[in-house]
Amino acid sequence: MRLFRSDELLGIARETLEFVLEASEETHPNEYMGFLRADDARKL
């Protein structure tokens, strides 16, 4: 089993995305991070 296989990735925890957004804003305030579609994981 490979560590990262895109066909097996279902989602990223909301807290993880919030952390990444905050960190990118602090370190690169003049840049932006693309937003991913948010779906409730229970619906997948």
Cα–Cα distance, 44 to 42 (Å, whole number): 6
Which residues are catalytic, by number?
A: 31
Longest dimension (CA), the chain: 39
∠ CA 3-24-8, rounded to 5°? 25
